[in-house]
Structure 1
Amino acid sequence: MWCFSLQRRYLHSSLCLMKNLKSKTPAEQRWLQRQLKDPYVKASQQQNYRCRSAFKLLEIDDKFRLLQPGYSVVDCGAAPGAWSQVAVQRVNSAGTAPESPHGTVIGVDLLNIPPLDGAHFLSSHDVTDPATHAKLLELLPDGRAHVILSDMAPNASGFREMDHEKLIVMCLSLIDLAEKILQPGGSLLCKYWDGTLTHKLQERLSSVFSSVRTLKPNASRKDSAERYFFARMYRKTGKQS
């Protein structure tokens, strides 16, 4: 997602926001105030990340070494490209470390993703579409990925359980994608919103991955139902094409 248009260019500067705060609705005021106080929003600007969500992936990768130089990565729901930025750095897909293996990063989103050196973006593509799967198989070295990332989410409806169910369905579609492109031993990291169907997703992941754990990065807001499943050691099911 666009992270409110790259955090609205840091909300068109803190000064402008403070001047306009009184003209906003109470909900808008709360959101703007939260953004102004958010250290990850500020850090994303200072470190040239497209969105604060980059720090979620950075924290997870620092701890679990998910992304390695030379790896092939598919970033689902990639817009605006913050996770792809992290992946490009960690797998060396831009070739900035000549002594290290050269990786591959492919981002997919229904939205437009601005170009990024070291990444190949499939904008206006549905990650559940067989045509997108075919394109990924064509672009990936040997037609296989080491890692599937997903920070994608549906547009919020305001009905928590409905939104939860929609995101679970999206996450389940990633398991179908894994059957097409993920190499044996590969990993999947996907965002979900906690709810009644969480166990169903965890069970499906556990049926094809040897290790599945729940993560809540520090950059994930404490009051959010957002969680991540980190699944490792993918086991082929025999359904791959």
Structure 2
Amino acid sequence: MWGFSVWRRCIHCSLSVMKKLKGKTAAEQRWVLRQLKDPYVKASHAQNFRCRSAFKLLEIDDKFRLLQPGYSVVDCGAAPGAWSQVAVERVNSAGTSRHGLPRGTVIGIDLLNIPPLDGAHFLSSHDVTHTATHAKLLELLPQDLAEMILLPRGSLLCKYWDGVLSHQLQEKLSSVFHSVRSIKPDASRKDSAERYFLARMYKKPVK
């Protein structure tokens, strides 16, 4: 009976995979197969994260402790919202902590639609480079942050693609942050040029 159950499950899985691959191009089929084999994709489904990228932020934050209860987070390019999910929990922006911890703020911005998330303010269909978006962002930030997005000693975590121009970005960040390091979390695929700059201790520009 056990053997029959496993055999039946294997057939079901094979049919499910064939259905997912039907009508797709060769490149799309490779992507689907990679997703099906990816342990972080499976874990994101099990833990109700919107996508596997949540584990990149979890890994980075576990190591560097960027997100603390009461902090304010602006998630640029937030769709579909997995990093915001992590941020909401760690800065306590939904106010769900039972230990009297301070409540933070999470704001997500993207050109795409971002499904609602308790504890986060999303600016969907907004361009982060537009002044109108800046004005809306300042309205949503706590009052003590209304005149400046990033406070002195604040941190920035940004994704970049490793290449000939990446050093220019690092030099730019180094001019306004005391510490800049390059990170490639384990959750980032090995064959990807994706990396992250972690910039800490923001220097307030002298006016």
TM-score over 0.5 for the alignment?
Answer: yes
Q: Which moved more, 1:18-27 or 1:58-67?
A: 18-27
The amino acid across from 2:185 in the alignment is P
Consecutive unaligned residues in structure 1, runs of 5 or more: 1-12, 146-178
Using the alignment, how far apart are the partners of 2:183 and 2:15 within structure 1? 35
The aligned residue for residue 194 of structure 2 is: 226
Using the alignment, how far apart are the partners of 2:28 and 2:120 within structure 1? 34
The aligned residue for residue 5 of structure 2 is: none
Normalising by the residue count of structure 1, what TM-score does the alignment of the two structures yield? 0.76
| Structure 1 moving runs of 4+ over 4 Å | none
Q: Secondary structure at the match of 1:182?
A: coil
Using the alignment, how far apart are the partners of 2:62 and 2:14 within structure 1? 30
Structure showing greater radius of gyration is: 2
Aligned-pair distance for 1:143? 5.1
Using the alignment, how far apart are the partners of 1:15 and 1:96 within structure 2? 42
The aligned residue for residue 81 of structure 1 is: 81
* 2:128 matches 1:127: yes
Aligned-pair distance for 1:236? 0.8
The aligned residue for residue 45 of structure 2 is: 45
The amino acid across from 1:52 in the alignment is R
Q: Which moved more, 1:111-120 or 1:22-31?
A: 22-31
How many residue pairs end up in the alignment?
Answer: 194
The aligned residue for residue 27 of structure 2 is: 27
Aligned-pair distance for 1:27? 1.3
* 2:185 matches 1:217: yes
Using the alignment, how far apart are the partners of 1:135 and 1:215 within structure 2? 31
The amino acid across from 2:194 in the alignment is E
Relative to structure 1, the CA distance from residue 209 to residue 23 in structure 2 (aligned partners, 3 Å threshold; closer, same or farther) is same
Aligned-pair distance for 1:14? 7.9
Relative to structure 1, the CA distance from residue 71 to residue 215 in structure 2 (aligned partners, 3 Å threshold; closer, same or farther) is same
Using the alignment, how far apart are the partners of 2:49 and 2:15 within structure 1? 21
Note if contact 2:55-2:187 (Cα within 8 Å) is conserved in structure 1.
yes
Q: Which moved more, 1:212-221 or 1:24-33?
A: 24-33
Instruction: Give a deviation string over 1:102-134, Cα, whole Å, max 9, x none.
Output: 000000001111100000001111111111111
Normalising by the residue count of structure 2, what TM-score does the alignment of the two structures yield? 0.89
Consecutive unaligned residues in structure 2, runs of 5 or more: 1-12
Note if contact 1:136-1:143 (Cα within 8 Å) is conserved in structure 2.
no
The amino acid across from 2:126 in the alignment is H
Note if contact 1:137-1:143 (Cα within 8 Å) is conserved in structure 2.
no
Relative to structure 1, the CA distance from residue 206 to residue 38 in structure 2 (aligned partners, 3 Å threshold; closer, same or farther) is same
Relative to structure 1, the CA distance from residue 112 to residue 20 in structure 2 (aligned partners, 3 Å threshold; closer, same or farther) is closer
Using the alignment, how far apart are the partners of 1:186 and 1:31 within structure 2? 37
Identity in percent: 80
Instruction: Give a deviation string over 1:154-203, Cα, whole Å, max 9, x none.
Output: xxxxxxxxxxxxxxxxxxxxxxxxx9410000000000001111011000
Relative to structure 1, the CA distance from residue 20 to residue 67 in structure 2 (aligned partners, 3 Å threshold; closer, same or farther) is closer
Map of 1:158-169 to 2, 5 A cutoff? none
Using the alignment, how far apart are the partners of 2:23 and 2:125 within structure 1? 35
Whose helix fraction is larger, Structure 1's or Structure 2's? 1
